[in-house]
């Protein structure tokens, strides 16, 4: 990584509400402004979910299109759209924004508990998603919530559905899923293909410890209201940018420079936006 760290900001998510944090960006305009603020604070990648007029998560092409258009007017941040969507959505619904040909998209690599709900991703679904991303030249972030998901990603790679450079998203501490512990993260990373890029994300109170752990291990970091709405115990973050600022500061303290969007475009060999 040449002394750099890639910071992703997940500013909205599907499950976070204004009750969790009143500063949650929800409309396309708010999301675009928050994305520009996160970029100024040091984020190079935006992990994007959108909401409908009532504030519910949606995979609507129109809303994604409008939001990405507004983001593009304000900032050069790399846009990674979600295809995880929200609990209960169909695979077809979730996959829709990939047709807009964003630079990156998340690709969930298996089925997992999500609190009292669950997210279903069978291998055939994953193949369909990987094929669509290949067709539209979208770089997948292989989101693994469990060890089995990493092995499932190996199947997709072996089948030629995903080409290097690989970028993984390791999601730890989802309620009902794998807990964050340093040895768990270490083991996951050791099971990734050689030379993979990886971004670790700790949900809730695991967010900050995962940032420290990941900086020490040479990975990439993700913060934002999708994962955690607190700045410290009992203190809500004022904005997504405040969380990014701290992540960038910790990176610099560790001797790492936050990568710019153009650095990420080169490192992950993203298509021309
Ligand atoms: Zn997400």
Q: For 135-187, how does the pLDDT look when each residue is reduced to its tens digit (9 = 90+)?
A: 999 999 999 999 999 999 999 999 999 999 999 999 999 999 999 999 999 99
Distance 3 CA to ligand 1 centre (A): 27
Cα 54 from Cα 152, distance rounded (Å)? 36
CA of 260 relative to ligand 1 center, distance in Å? 21
Distance from the Cα of residue 82 to its chain's centroid? 8
List the structure tokens of 79: 């846009």
CA–centroid distance, residue 212 to ligand 1 (Å): 21
Q: 47 alpha carbon to ligand 1 midpoint, in Å?
A: 6
Which residue is listed with tokens 């708010």?
30
* pTM score above 0.95: yes
Question: Taking a C-beta distance cutoff of 8 angstroms, is the pair 176, 114 a contact?
Answer: yes
Per cent of the chain over pLDDT 90 is: 95
Region for 70 from its dihedrals, namely left if φ exceeds 0, alpha if ψ lies in -120 to 50, beta otherwise:
alpha
**Highest mean pLDDT, choosing among 82-91, 113-122, 159-168:** 159-168
Mean pLDDT in the chain? 96
Ligand 1 centroid to Cα of residue 122, in Å, is: 18
User: Which homologous superfamily does the CATH classification assign to the domain defined by 4-267?
Assistant: Aldolase class I (3.20.20.70)
Rounded to the nearest angstrom, the distance between the alpha carbon of 195 and the centre of ligand 1 is: 24
Ligand 1 geometric centre to CA of 264 (Å) = 19
Q: How far is the CA of 50 from the centre of ligand 1 (A)?
A: 10
What are the pLDDT digits (tens) for 180-230?
999 999 999 999 999 999 999 999 999 999 999 999 999 999 999 999 999
The ranges assigned to domains in the chain are 4-267
Q: Two tokens at 157?
A: 């790679």
pLDDT of residue 125: 97
**Rounded distance from Cα 29 to ligand 1 centre (Å):** 19
């Amino acid at each position: 990584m040449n002394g750099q760290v890639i910071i992703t900001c997940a500013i909205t998510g599907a499950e976070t509400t204004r009750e969790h944090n009143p500063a949650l960006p929800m409309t396309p305009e708010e999301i675009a402004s928050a994305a520009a603020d996160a970029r100024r604070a040091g984020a190079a990648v935006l992990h994007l979910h959108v909401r409908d007029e009532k504030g519910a998560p949606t995979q609507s092409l129109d809303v994604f299109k409008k939001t990405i258009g507004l983001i593009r007017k304000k900032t050069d941040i790399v846009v990674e759209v979600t295809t995880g969507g929200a609990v209960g959505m169909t695979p077809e619904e979730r996959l829709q924004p990939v047709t807009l040909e964003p630079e990156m998209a998340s690709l969930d690599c298996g089925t997992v508990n999500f609190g009292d709900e669950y997210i279903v991703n069978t291998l055939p679904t994953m193949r369909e998603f990987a094929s669509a991303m290949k067709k539209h030249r979208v770089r997948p972030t292989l989101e693994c919530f469990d060890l089995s998901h990493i092995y499932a990603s190996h199947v997709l790679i072996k089948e030629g559905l995903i080409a290097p450079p690989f970028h993984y998203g390791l999601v730890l501490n989802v309620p009902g899923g794998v807990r964050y512990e340093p040895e768990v993260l270490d083991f996951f990373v050791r099971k990734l293909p050689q030379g993979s890029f990886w971004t670790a994300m700790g949900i809730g109170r695991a967010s900050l410890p995962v940032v420290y752990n990941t900086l020490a291990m040479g990975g990439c970091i993700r913060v934002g209201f999708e994962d955690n709405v607190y700045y410290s115990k009992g203190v809500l973050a004022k904005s997504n940018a405040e969380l990014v600022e701290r992540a960038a500061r910790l990176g610099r303290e560790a001797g790492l420079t936050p990568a710019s969007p153009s650095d990420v475009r080169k490192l992950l060999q993203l298509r021309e936006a």
